[in-house]
Amino acid sequence: MKANFPQIPISLKENVLENVLQKTPFGFSLVNEHYVFEFANDEWLNIVQKTRQEVLGKKMFDIFPETEIQLLSIFDHVKKNKEPFYSPEHSIKLKRAGVLQDVFFNFVYQPIYSECGELQCFAIVAIEVTGLVGIRNKIKDEEERLRLATESSHTATWDLNLKNSEIIHSSYLSQIFGYENDDEISHLKLRTHLVEYDRINIVDKAFQRALKTGKYQYEARIIDKKGNLKWVFTNGKIFPDEKGQPARMLGVMQDITERKNNEILLQESHHQLNTALDATKLGKFDMDYETQQKYNFSPRFLSILGYDADTETIDSKVFESHIHPKYLKIRAAALKQAKETGDLFYQTKIILREGQVKWIEIYGRLLESYKGSKPYISGTMRDITDLKEFESSIKESEKKYRFLADAIPQIVWIGESDGRLTYFNQATMDYSGKNYNTFLEEDGWLSIVHPDERAENQRLWMKSVTTKTPFTYEHRFLGKNGEYRWFLSRATPQLDEMGNVKKWVGTSTDIDEMKRLDQHKNDFIKIANHELKTPVTTIKGYVQLLKKMRGDSEDKFLVNSLNTIENQINKLNQLMGELLDISRIESGQLPLHKGDFSLVKLVTETIEDIKAADQSHQINFELSHTSDVEVFADKDRITQVLNNLLTNAIKYSPNKKEVHVKLFIDGKCAVVSVEDFGIGMNEEELSKIFERFYRVSGKDEVTFPGFGIGLFIVKDILDRHHGKIWVESEKNKGSKFYFSLPLFKN
Ligand code: ADP
C-alpha cells in the first residue's frame, strides 16, 4: 500500500521538522494534487475532530464532502496563480461530533513545488478563529444592543478625549442640545450651552471631583440652540492612560427637564401645602396602610399632643398611647373603614401627659403606592377642643331656648333654609292634639291648615323661602276639638354673615277673637253705611234743591250755610265710602269694574269737579303727551285715587295756593303726579303714610282733619291694577305724589 503513496517531500522527511509540525499550535496538513491527505498534525486533527487513520491516505472530499465546492475553487485558484491563498476568518460548515457547525478559520493554502517546478502538494495551514469571531460578533451585538437601549431610553452617549477635547457622541446628544444630527459640535461648543451659574457651581465642580474619584455626575441646566431651557443629567467615568493620567471620559446624558419641572412643582406644592397647613393649624402625619402605624409627624402634630419636636424623641406609637379609652372603639371602627374605603375620619378625646383632655379630629386619605413605595394614608389632625366646647355650650343654650319655647302658649316653629319645618313647640301639640312626628313629616304641618288656605299658604311660604323675605299669612288651624281658629303666622329668616338663610323662626298667634271682632266691626260699618246712606242722600238732595232755589239770594248767610252743608255732606259721604272700602279691602271684597278710558279726560274732569267744590287753590294741569293716554282700569277707583291725592294736596298746603298736576308716559306706564308746596313730610313719616290709620303725629286735628285711611285705600287700588304709588317730599317745602298705571294695549 505504501508504494502507492506519492513520495513525501525530502525536506519533510526530517524527523525534527516533522516533530515541530506535529506540535505546532496551528493545524497543518498536506494534500497531494489528487487531494489525498499525506500529512496531518495533531492540531489539524483536533480541529477537524478526526483520527489520523481516518484521514491519511484518504481523499479530502470523501472525508469532508461538505467542503468540496468551496475548496475546489480555492485549490484551482492556487494552482493557477501559483501563490498562496489567504482566507482570513473563513467560515466553513463542519460536522463535529455529528453536529454541523459554522466554524471560522484563518486559512493559508500554500502550493508546494518540486525542485523542477512541478506542483507536488498543497500545505493547508488552519488557525481556528471561531472563538475570536464569536467574541467580535458578540461585541458588535452588544454595541448594537447598547445603541438601541440608549436611543430608546432617551440616553445620549459620549466619549471625550481629555487630551485634545475631541468628543464622539450619539446623535441623541445633538438632539438634547437642539442641533441637527449632522451638525458638527465640539466639546467647547457644548459647554457654552450650560447656564453660567450651573457651569461654575455644578459642572466644573463635578469635573474636579471626577478627577479625584473617577466618577463624573451632575444635574445642570442648559439653554439649547433653539433657546429652550432644559435640565440634563450626566453620568460618566474617567479612564486613565498607561501612566495613570486621565485620558478619556465616557458617559451618558439624559434630558430630565420634565422630571425636574415636576420635582420643582412638587416642591412648590409641598411648600404651599405646608404653609396652608401652618395657617390652618393642622398637624400632619403619614400612616402605613397595612400596619396602620403612624410616622412622619409634623411639629404641629406633636405640639397638639403636648410634645416638643425639637427636644423630644418620639416613637411611632406615641399617638395611640394618648387616646381616651372611651374612644378606642370609635377609632378602631374608623381604621377598619379606612382599610375598606381609603378614607379615614374620626373625632376622639385625647389625654395629654399632664392629664389635660383635648378633642381632636383626624382626617386622612389613602395615597396609592408611588415609585415603589408602599401605599400609605396621609392625614391631618385638628385640635377641636374649642369647637367642641362651643358646640356643647350651644347645645346647652338651645336646650334652654327650647324649654322657653315650649313654655309659652303661642305656637313657635323653626324652618330650615330650604323651607322644611323641623321644630314645633309644645303649644303646637297642645292646640292640635297631634303627635310631634306628624309635624316632622314632609308638609305634615299643612294637615292642620284649613283646606281653603292650604295652596295659598304653601305658595306664599315657598315665595318667602326663595326670596328670603319675611312671611306673613292669616290662616285657620284645626284644633283638637275639631274646630278651626284663625292664626296670624309670621316668620323671619336668620341670615349668616354671607347673607344665607340659617334658619327660619316662625310664630303663629291666635287671632280668632280679633278676627271675629273685626268681622263684627265690618258688619257694623256695612250696616251703618247702609243706614246712613238714606238720610245723607236725602239731606244732600234737599241742600242741592235749596241751592238751586236760593243760590243767587242776597242773603249771604243763607248761601254760605248751604255751601258749608254741601261740603260737609260731601266729606261725610267720602268718609263713609272710605270706611266701607277699608272693611271690603280687609275681607278681600273690594270689587273692580275695569274698562278702557282716557286718563287725560279723567284727570281733566276730576280737577274740574274739585275746582267747582273748592276754589281755595289754583290747580294747573300739564300734559306732556300730545296724543290721548288710554288705560284699562276701574274708572271710579282711579278717580278716587286722584281725588284723594288732590284733596290731600289742598288740605296739607293751607298757606300755598298752587297745586301742579302732570301726566306723562314712562315706558309702558302712564304716570300722574300731584305736587303741592305745603307742609311736606320727613323721611320717617314718608315711610309710613301708606299704612292703615297712619297720620303724622302732632297734626292739628282742626286744620287737617282725617282718618289716615285715604292713602291706604289708594295704594290697595293701585296694587290691584298692577300700578304703583310713590312720593317725594321735604318738610315745609311740599310733597309730590306719583302714581302709575300700565298703558292700555290694543
Ligand atoms: P288723612 O285722612 O289723614 O289725610 P291719608 O291716608 O290720606 O289720611 O294720609 C295719611 C297721612 O299722610 C296724612 O295724615 C298726612 O300726614 C300725610 N299726607 C298725605 N298727603 C300729604 C301731603 N300732600 N302733604 C303732607 N302730608 C301728607
- The end-to-end CA distance of the chain, in Å, is 145
Least confident piece of the model among 400-404, 504-508, 646-650 = 400-404
pLDDT surpassing 60 at residue 303: yes
**What is the residue with the minimal CA distance to atom 2 of ligand 1?**
706
Residue 445 binned pLDDT confidence (cut-offs 50, 70, 90): confident
At the fourth CATH level, the homologous superfamily of domain 591-742 is Histidine kinase-like ATPase, C-terminal domain (3.30.565.10)
Q: Is 649 in the pocket of ligand 1 (CB under 6 A)?
A: yes
Residues 6+ apart with CB under 8 A from 456: 473
- Of 333-337, 568-572, 698-702, the one with minimum mean pLDDT is 698-702
**Residue 678 CB less than 6 A away from ligand 1:** yes
Name the residue with cell 492540531: 43
**Homologous superfamily of the 390-510 domain (CATH):** PAS domain (3.30.450.20)
Q: Which residue has the higher pLDDT, 186 or 692?
A: 186
For the chain, the residue count is 746
Q: Place domain 281-383 in its CATH homologous superfamily.
A: PAS domain (3.30.450.20)
CB 732 within 8 A of CB 680: yes
Q: Which residue has a Cα nearest atom 16 of ligand 1?
A: 696
Task: Say if strands 27-32 and 119-128 run parallel, antiparallel, or are unpaired.
Answer: antiparallel
- pLDDT value at residue 14: 60
Cα–Cα distance, 339 to 348 (Å, whole number): 19
Beta bridge partners of 619: 659
pLDDT band, very low/low/confident/very high, at 1 (cuts 50, 70, 90): very low
> How many angstroms separate the alpha carbon of residue 712 from the centre of ligand 1?
10
For the chain, give the mean pLDDT. Answer: 86
pLDDT surpassing 90 at residue 392: no
| Nearest atom within ligand 1 for CA of residue 679 | 25
Per the CB < 8 A criterion, the answer to whether 248 and 162 are in contact is yes
> Quick one: average pLDDT of 609-631?
88
Which residue's entry shows cell 245723607?
Answer: 536
Q: Residue 28 in contact with residue 41, Cβ under 8 Å?
A: yes
Angle at 619 between CA 614 and CA 620, to 5 degrees: 160
The DSSP code for 7 is P
Mean pLDDT across the stretch 109-121? 84
Probe ligand 1: pick from 641, 652, 726, max atoms within 8 Å of CB?
A: 652
Across 678-685, average pLDDT: 91
Dump pLDDT digits (tens) for 322-345.
999 999 999 999 988 888 888 889
Pairing relationship of beta strands 167-169 and 155-161 according to DSSP bridges: antiparallel
Is residue 305 predicted with pLDDT exceeding 60?
yes
Q: What is the position in ligand 1's atom list of the atom closest to the CA of 712?
A: 6
Residue 737 Cα: closest atom of ligand 1: 23
Dist. CA 217 → ligand 1 center (Å): 95
Q: How far apart are CA 39 and CA 31, in angstroms?
A: 7
Asked whether 696 lines ligand 1 (CB < 6 A), one says: yes
List, in sequence order, the alpha helices (H) in 587-736.
599-613, 635-651, 683-686, 710-719
Confidence of residue 160 (pLDDT cuts 50, 70, 90): very high
pLDDT band at 369 (very low <50, low <70, confident <90, very high): low
CATH label, 153-261, candidates 1.10.3720.10, 3.30.450.20, 1.10.579.10, 3.30.70.2610: 3.30.450.20
pLDDT value of position 407:
82
Give the DSSP H/E element, type plus range, for residue 697: none
Would the pTM of this model clear 0.85, i.e. be above it? no
User: Who's near 406: CB < 8 A, 6+ residues apart?
Assistant: 425, 426, 427
> What per-residue confidence (pLDDT) applies to 9?
54
pLDDT, tens digit (0-9, with 9 covering 90-100), for 171-220: 889 999 999 988 888 999 999 999 999 999 999 999 999 999 989 999 99
Show the cell assigned to 688: 309710613
CA of 644 to the centre of ligand 1 (A): 9
* CA count, 13 A, side-chain hemisphere, 148: 6
Using most ligand atoms within 8 A of CB, pick from 692, 695, 728 the residue to mutate for ligand 1: 695
Q: Is the CB of 692 under 6 A from ligand 1?
A: no
Residue 652 in contact with ligand 1 by CB distance below 6 A: yes
> What integer pLDDT is reported at residue 687 of this predicted model?
84
The pLDDT tens digits for 545-557 are 998 888 788 888 9
The pLDDT tens digits for 39-92 are 888 888 888 888 989 999 999 889 888 888 888 888 888 888 888 888 888 777
Ligand 1 atom closest to the CA of 649, numbered from 1: 23
Q: Ligand 1 pocket test: which of 673, 689, 732 has the largest number of ligand atoms within 8 Å of its C-beta?
A: 689
Phi first, then psi, for residue 610 (nearest 5°) are: -65, -45
- C-beta of 735 in contact with ligand 1 (< 6 A): yes
Considering only CA atoms, which residue is closest to atom 12 of ligand 1? 689
Grade residue 645 by pLDDT with cuts at 50, 70 and 90.
very high
- Residue whose C-alpha cell is 290694543: 746
Q: Which atom of ligand 1 is nearest to the CA of 706?
A: 2
Cα–Cα distance measured from residue 439 to residue 541, given in angstroms and rounded to the nearest whole number: 62
Q: Is the CB of 679 under 6 A from ligand 1?
A: yes
CA distance linking residue 653 with residue 735, whole number of Å: 9
Strand order in the sheet with 411-415: 421-424, 411-415, 501-510, 484-495, 471-478
Is 50 exceeded by the pLDDT of residue 3?
Answer: no
Q: Decide if 93 contacts 100 (C-beta within 8 A).
A: yes
Give the number of other Cβ atoms within 10 Å of residue 3's Cβ.
Answer: 4
Q: Which pLDDT belongs to residue 194?
A: 94
Contact at 8 Å (CB) between 323 and 350? Answer: yes
In the predicted model, what is the mean pLDDT of residues 93-100?
Answer: 74
For residue 704, the CA-to-ligand 1 centroid distance in Å is 9
Which residues are CB-neighbours of 270 under 8 A, at least 6 positions away? none
Closest CA to 650 of 698, 709, 704: 704
Q: Does the pLDDT value for residue 666 go beyond 80?
A: yes
Q: Using the predicted structure, report yes or no on whether residue 736 has a pLDDT greater than 90.
A: yes
Burial of 449 (0-12, 13-18, 19+ CB in 10 A): buried
The pLDDT of residue 373 is 62
Q: Is the CB of 709 under 6 A from ligand 1?
A: yes
Q: Which atom of ligand 1 is nearest to the CA of 734?
A: 24
Query: Residue 2: is its pLDDT beyond 50?
Result: no
Q: What is the Cα–Cα distance from 138 to 118, expressed in whole angstroms?
A: 45
Asked whether the beta carbons of 195 and 221 are under 8 A apart, the reply is yes
Residue written as cell 419641572? 261
Task: For residue range 11-36, list pLDDT tens digits in order.
Answer: 555 676 777 778 777 888 999 989 99
Q: How far is the CA of 425 from the centre of ligand 1 (A)?
A: 43
Strand 85-96 relative to strand 99-113, pairing: antiparallel
Q: Does domain 10-135 have CATH number 3.30.450.20?
A: yes
Q: How many Å lie between the centroid of ligand 1 and the Cα of residue 695?
A: 6
CB of 734 within 6 A of ligand 1: the answer is no
Amino acid of residue 190:
L
Give all strands of the β-sheet with 155-161 in edge-to-edge order. 167-169, 155-161, 246-255, 229-240, 215-223
DSSP state string for 595-624 = EEEEHHHHHHHHHHHHHHH--SSEEEEEE-
